[in-house]
């Protein structure tokens, strides 16, 4: 059912599938112009709600899977001491630097934040990226490594129910391209966090609710909306690194 709905998340079997690095290099050409993407709109709401309770001013931030810096304006408006971005796609990083010319970014995976020392930051942010990470445990361990005691993680991603329905897809020069994804359960995320000194303190879910109904109505897809009404599409979590004596 979700295959017909999540047009930027879910594809069909048999589509050409690329690695996240290769796929997002292509997607970077149009990514910021897709302002009507229902899922990124929902993700933005979840991220904003979680971020309200996180202190940003004067703190060192690391954005894992930063992409084109979709949330950077909001983050920089809150006056962090530093903001560093990591991403596997050079194309996405190039797009970010065109918008933020003085940005500090590194081409790297979520489980290898080599340019950030142990206990080198206060907040780790990762939005719509974990589903492209094969080694969940490795990524969470690395986030725990770079966080100072009392530091926080704010993560959002496609809900496992949505990820399990198919591949992340987008159109490039008339072709449908699929991005490799991995389904990580909520249990796996919370367990990996606990093993690496991170405690879940807040959780949020965005479902197919009335707020996105007009988007389906305008495209003549109300029957599709009615079938997915109430289903989880995006989740968000805030975690804190436990201070040890």
Work out whether strand 82-87 and strand 175-179 pair parallel, antiparallel, or are unpaired: unpaired
pLDDT tens per residue, range 121-147: 999 999 999 999 999 999 999 999 999
How long is the chain? Answer: 245
At residue 95, the 3 state secondary structure works out as helix
State the pLDDT confidence band at 75, using cuts at 50, 70 and 90.
very high
pLDDT tens per residue, range 39-50: 899 999 999 999
At residue 71, the 3 state secondary structure works out as coil
Q: pTM of the prediction?
A: 0.90
Q: Over the chain, what is the mean pLDDT?
A: 90
The DSSP letter of residue 242 is P
Domains of the chain by range and CATH?
Answer: 2-241 (3.40.50.150)
Give φ, ψ of 223 to 5 degrees.
-60, -35
What mean pLDDT comes out for the span 204-208?
A: 93
């Amino acid at each position: 059912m979700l295959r017909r709905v999540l047009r930027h998340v879910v594809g069909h079997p048999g589509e050409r599938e690329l690695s996240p690095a290769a796929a997002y290099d292509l997607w970077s050409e149009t990514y910021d112009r897709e302002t009507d993407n229902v899922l990124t709109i929902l993700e933005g709401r979840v991220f904003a709600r979680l971020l309200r309770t996180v202190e940003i001013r004067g703190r060192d931030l690391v954005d894992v899977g930063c992409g084109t810096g979709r949330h950077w304006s909001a983050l920089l408006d809150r006056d962090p001491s530093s903001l560093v971005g990591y991403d596997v796609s050079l194309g996405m990083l190039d797009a970010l630097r065109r918008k933020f010319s003085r940005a500090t970014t590194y081409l790297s995976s979520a489980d290898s934040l080599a340019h950030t020392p142990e206990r080198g930051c206060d907040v780790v942010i990762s939005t719509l990226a974990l589903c492209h990470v094969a080694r969940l445990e490795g990524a969470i361990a690395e986030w725990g490594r770079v966080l100072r005691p009392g530091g926080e993680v704010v993560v959002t991603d496609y809900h496992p129910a949505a990820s399990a329905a198919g591949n992340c897809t987008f159109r490039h020069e008339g072709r449908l391209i699929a991005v490799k994804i991995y389904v990580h359960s909520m249990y796996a995320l919370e367990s990996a966090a606990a093993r690496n000194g991170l405690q879940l303190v807040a959780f949020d879910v965005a479902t197919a609710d009335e707020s996105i109904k007009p988007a389906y109505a305008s495209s003549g897809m109300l029957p599709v909306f009615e079938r997915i009404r109430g289903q989880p599409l995006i989740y968000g979590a805030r975690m804190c690194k436990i201070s040890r004596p």
